[in-house]
Amino acid sequence: MASIRWGIAGPGRIARNLAPDFDHVPDAELVAVGSRSAERAEAFAREHGAARAHGSYAALIADPEVDAIYIATPHPQHHAIALAALRAGKALLVEKAFTATHAGAVEVVAEARRLGVFAMEAMWTRFQPAVVRLRELVAEGAIGEVVAVHADLGIRRAFDRADRLWAPELGGGALLDLGVYPVSFAQMVLGAPSTVHAVGALAPTGVEQSATLLMGYEDGRAATAVTSLRSPMPGRAVVHGTGGSIELPPRFHHPTSLVLHRDGADPESMELPPLGRGYAEELVEVTECLLAGRTESEVMPLEDTLAVMSVLEQAARQLGVEQAEDASVEV
């Protein structure tokens, strides 16, 4: 396979941000886009140089010239599109949150493994150079033994029942859109927690407008994840150790630098900007995995995605929110 030919399902904001980064990815090209609106698909294809525009997700999935699909639709639609694409042999990069429910994620992961088809959550944060360096520093023991993690990410968005972020049927709420970042960051550093405690507030539509999670571990380590749709939080993450800390300044989910604080020493700032808009690194990862014949990423393995989805669902249920997959998607 000389080059990986990509298609995009869902030509929305995230897809528009990601598409230009294909220019920074060797052995990959954007060749197709699919939407429930042929007009939107055609406009996206013209803007981003894709050769073909499909007026349905089914047509995109059936396109024999597409090797991999980036799913950028609302969360509850990921499940059905992912299953159909996997069964057609298409590799997947699925926008976070991976699905709307933990059970939906389990089903997609099981199908990918059964069929031996590549799938990965599009958690771009894990591939950012500053985050890669943070993992290296932790592994080197630069801050001693890690004891705690904190991360926050919030925006102020006026309540609007017509806005996807406030709509329960579209997977709205702070947790799936924003909370996935601090939870995934904590899971990357500490692994899956043994306990999850959540407090927060709900919007008039019943989705969570804010949430604070305390994740506990049997050995005494802990993580806090704070997210909100009604407060413009800094977007900072810190890993605390017995010998110092590592800070990702705002906004940590696509950082350009980190600061290493060692006990008794001056802070060390490291500038580590991402490639392109920051999506290129995850596209490189998937492309290289496919060319090498791998079915999972070692940096963003499917077990990590399942662990994160479990935490998000536990938190949502404690707040009285029950998400559901969209069974009406035509694929």
> What are the catalytic residues?
96
- Token pair for residue 65? 């010239």
Nearest to 80 by CA among 328, 315, 294: 328
Question: What is the C-alpha separation between 127 and 83, in angstroms, rounded?
Answer: 25
Q: For residue 59, what is the enclosing H or E element?
A: helix 57-62
Distance of CA 191 to the CA centre of its chain: 16
Distance of CA 303 to the CA centre of its chain: 14
DSSP letter string over 66-121? -SEEEE-S-HHHHHHHHHHHHHTT-EEEEESSS-SSHHHHHHHHHHHHHHT--EEE
Contacts of 309 (CB under 8 A, 6+ apart): 97, 98, 99, 101, 102, 105
Determine the 3-state secondary structure of 318 from DSSP. Answer: helix
Residue 239 DSSP class: E
Total Cβ atoms within 10 A of residue 256 = 16
**C-alpha torsion sign, points 46, 50, 52, 54:** negative
Total Cβ atoms within 10 A of residue 71 = 27
Question: What is the C-alpha separation between 315 and 193, in angstroms, rounded?
Answer: 12
- Token pair for residue 150? 């904190």
